[in-house]
Amino acid sequence: MKSLHWFLLLLIVAFTVLRIVEAQNQAGFISLDCGLVPTETTYVEKSTNITYKSDADYIDSGSVEKINDADKTLVQQPLWALRSFPEGQRNCYNFNLTANSKYLIRGTFLYGNYDGLNQSPSFDLHIGPSKWTSVKILGVTDRAIHELIHVLTQDRLQVCLVKTETTTPFISSLELRPLKNSTYTTQSGSLMLFNRVYCPSDSSSSVIRYDEDINDRIWDPFFDNDIVSISTDLQVDTSNIFDVPQAVMKTAAIPTNASEPWNLSWTLDNNTALSYVYMHFAEVQNLKANEIREFSITYNGGKIWYGLFRPPKLSIVTIYNQIPLSSSNGLFNFTFAMSVNSTLPPLINALEIYTVVDIQPLVTNKDDVSAMMNIKKTYGLSKKVSWQGDPCAPQFYLWEGVNCSYPNSGPSMIISLNLKESELNGTITSDISKLTQLKELDLSKNDLSGLIPAFFADMKLLTLINLSGNPKLNLTTVPDSLQQRVNSKTLTLILGEIQNPTPQKESKKVPMVAIAASVAGVFALLVILVIVFLVMRRKNAETTEAPGPLPSVTSGTVKNETKSSNLSIMTKDRRITYSEVLKMANSFERVLGKGGFGTVYHGNLDNAEVAVKMLSHSSTQGYKEFKAEVELLLRVHHRHLVGLVGYCDDGDNMALIYEYMANGDLKENMSGKRGGHVLTWQNRMQIAVEAAQGLEYLHIGCTPPMVHRDVKTTNILLNERSGAKLADFGLSRSFPLDGECHVSTVVAGTPGYLDPEYYRTNWLSEKSDVYSFGVVLLEIVTNQPVIDKTRERPHISEWVGFMLTKGDIKSIVDPKLMGDYDTNGAWKIVELALGCLNPSSNQRPTMAHVVMELNECVALENARRQGSEEMYSRGSGDFSRLSSASEFAPGAR
């Protein structure tokens, strides 16, 4: 009996130690009970065994509140307290973590009528400057849980609560869980949880999380009248990268009606959202020799998700998509159907659904952010309610007293800092010197002490320092290096009234007569200068009539542009007068076409045909675009770029004279407006490669490199032999020569062809042209409009992807070709086009690679025409690089 007693005692001790070890084995977990007091308190939550601590070290704003005592019995301890934010538009938690690490971030919200107002709070959650989601609390005792899987691009993470209505933002708990970087991968963006469920056998089952799930994911039980749960008591091999808990994988759901296909459906709130789906499978029944469980999975009208799948016995397989899914109405319907060989119905053990959220990194330079955080901490500036989150972004939440630069390329930098009357005390912190782009600094009317620091002299861009009104600051001793900058007038130093100044030598009194004489002399000089200016201006007006303002539209904003000397074209080698243009164009008798610039007329110059493009006075393009095109074409020459014969810049009359392209533009030829003939596949391949070569030359053959910015079929012109040349360079821009890969520019281009990344970030690169050229390639193959709202998928890229889910290239190739094309070349060019259209510019090919691939397409077509085409075609299931359905791969590990 004694031995049994000792055995039970040892068992209890072992179990206790095991629980303690498990409680401590939460490496990387950050579990914050928001509003927990005292702030040094920690505790282990009983049902999860997770150790929670106060959030006080991660935020310096907000007020601590508690839910009603009556509601505490209904929820776990981390929800008893909360932190509310009655002040400020944005309040942020700050975490110092490791860049490139993946985290599950979870916020939990329980209102509990803590303020006695019986409201339904509503507010937004942000990660840094980007919106994560909206939080809406419907009932007093309802809890809202929001999860995000996010890869940190920097070593700093900010989780912000943003006031959007009259109600007060609050949070009950905030949890961070490190994940393996190999799990939950996306093409771009972060993953917001839509649902995560498992299929328990017991209707009383509750959620599963830590410590059964080592990553502390929350698995909700799923019950439905159309399913029956099956389970096993045996261990399931869950050794793949997702670490799904045993308790989740030991149970599965099968349809009640085994003879009919089984449907799982859900609808996303956001119809435009992209999503990722993870299905976890394991056979949990002991099948007899004559029993087979085999099924296929399709979605949204027969798109293949996975075919003829047999779940392995007691071993996990995870099936998921590697590129995101979309649905025009937000509805997803997955169908599980038994194969003809199957004797058992389909099953599924667990399901995870996520939507993509585009989370941008901190906009402000990370060194500036660190400096500002240190300045805030040094001087205890938590009273500045706007000093939360990213200092510069969004601009609506710009920190009080801070001004920033917003370059189109690169991060924002802090250029001025005004801490006037901010109750600063102590010495001037050296963290200010880390604001390398600072131009103006105001520290006036504070209680600073000590010496003026010498590091001010090393801040080369600093032009103004105001230190007045600091009675304890030693203003009598200015560092020599700083005084030199003051003496050289590169820096203004305002000291105000100096306390205990060094005695100054008595200055000699200046006679009032001398002062008056000086003032009179200066006045006389100013009068003379004004007279000279007016005379010169009148003379210029008589010799050259100044043009009126030219309207220019950029990204929906109308502004007036006036020709000025700084915009004048530097070379006049090919300048033509307006009277010469009139003669050349035969008084504008024959119209070739019209565009945003103006009308294009036929002309003759020195017995050669030319095209004369006249700038209309009502044109949406201005003198800036006119000048850009002239200066570009005067210095670049390539056989696949339209040549500039000359230009007219004669008062209000502006014209560009090009070489004549007899067959018009590619769009006209594709549509049949040029005589009704159909461009052959060989013609199309040759046009594609020649246009690509012109674009390649702009990107890598020019010094500095150029980006066209408006690549489209109407800007690809054809000569009498259908040779292709790129045209219309009014929007083109140069790249800097210092290695930067972006140019600073306002978004411009043509809808449908416009790179979405460029549109979102204003960062223009050569990959923006690559995107537009990808659209052109799809037009060449399909002869479909770029945007057609009558199609189920309006944009041509979406439509092509949708049609190719059937795996048949014939469904998209221009029917006017009557099947006369190389099938392999068609697949190749479509794959290339979709590669050009990758949402991430880093994943797009270069134009050099595009030219190489297109040359192979030309070779394939030439070989076919010579009768040596390799006789094979791609099967209906072989479209692995084209459609989202293809990329769903089992991840058995």
pLDDT band at 675 (very low <50, low <70, confident <90, very high): low
- Catalytically annotated residue among 216, 649, 665, 710: 710
The secondary element (H helix, E strand) that includes residue 413 is: strand 413-418
Mean pLDDT of 713-737: 76
Tens-digit pLDDT profile for residues 22-35: 444 799 999 999 99
Residue 442 appears among annotated catalytic residues: no
- Which long-range contacts does 357-360 make (Cβ < 8 Å, 24+ apart)? 357/130, 357/132, 357/133, 357/148, 357/189, 357/190, 357/191, 357/192, 358/130, 358/188, 358/189, 358/190, 358/760, 359/127, 359/128, 359/130, 359/132, 359/148, 359/150, 359/189, 359/190, 360/128, 360/129, 360/130
> For domain 666-866+881-886, which CATH number applies: 3.40.640.10, 2.40.70.10, 3.40.50.2000, 1.10.510.10?
1.10.510.10
Confidence at residue 617, expressed as pLDDT on a 0 to 100 scale: 64
Spell out a b/e string for 430-443, using b for 16 or more CB atoms within 10 Å of the CB, else e: ebbbbbbbbbbbbb
359 CB contacts (<8 Å, ≥6 apart)? 127, 128, 130, 132, 148, 150, 189, 190
- Choosing among 2.30.110.10, 2.40.50.140, 3.40.190.170, 2.60.120.260, the CATH entry for 20-179 is 2.60.120.260
Better pLDDT: 398 or 704: 398
Residues in contact with 869: Cβ distance below 8 Å, sequence separation at least 6, in sequence order: 822, 860, 863
pLDDT at position 507 over 50: no
φ, ψ of residue 700 in degrees (nearest 5): -125, -10
**Residue range 742-760: mean pLDDT, rounded:** 70
Q: Which CATH class is domain 194-357?
A: mainly beta
Q: Please say whether the structural domain 366-494 has been given the CATH code 3.80.10.10.
A: yes
Q: How confident is the model at residue 343 (pLDDT cuts 50, 70, 90)?
A: very high
Strand 90-96 relative to strand 156-163: parallel, antiparallel, unpaired?
A: antiparallel
Average the pLDDT over 228-251 and give the result.
96
Q: What backbone phi and psi angles, to 5 degrees, belong to 352?
A: -125, 135
Q: What is the pLDDT at residue 141?
A: 84
194-357 matches 20-179 in CATH topology = yes
Give the pLDDT confidence of 828-841 residue by residue, as tens digits: 999 999 999 988 88
Angle between helices 766-782 and 681-696 (to 10 degrees): 170
The answer to the question of whether 613 is labelled as a binding residue is yes
pLDDT single digits (tens) 152-173: 988 899 999 999 989 999 999 9
In the chain, where the domains are located: 20-179, 194-357, 366-494, 558-659, 666-866+881-886
> Where in 286-349 does DSSP place strands (E)?
295-299, 303-309, 317-321, 331-338
Check if the beta carbon of residue 722 is closer than 8 Å to that of residue 663. Answer: yes
Give me the pLDDT at residue 447, please: 95
Whether the predicted pLDDT of 73 surpasses 90: no
Higher pLDDT pick, 878 / 298: 298
Question: Under DSSP, is residue 376 helix (H, G, I), strand (E, B) or coil?
Answer: helix
Query: For the chain, first and last CA: distance in Å?
Result: 48
Contact yes or no for 800/879 (Cβ under 8 A): no
Third-level CATH fold of 558-659: Phosphorylase Kinase; domain 1 (3.30.200)
Give the lowest-confidence range in 125-139, 460-474, 545-559, 669-683.
545-559
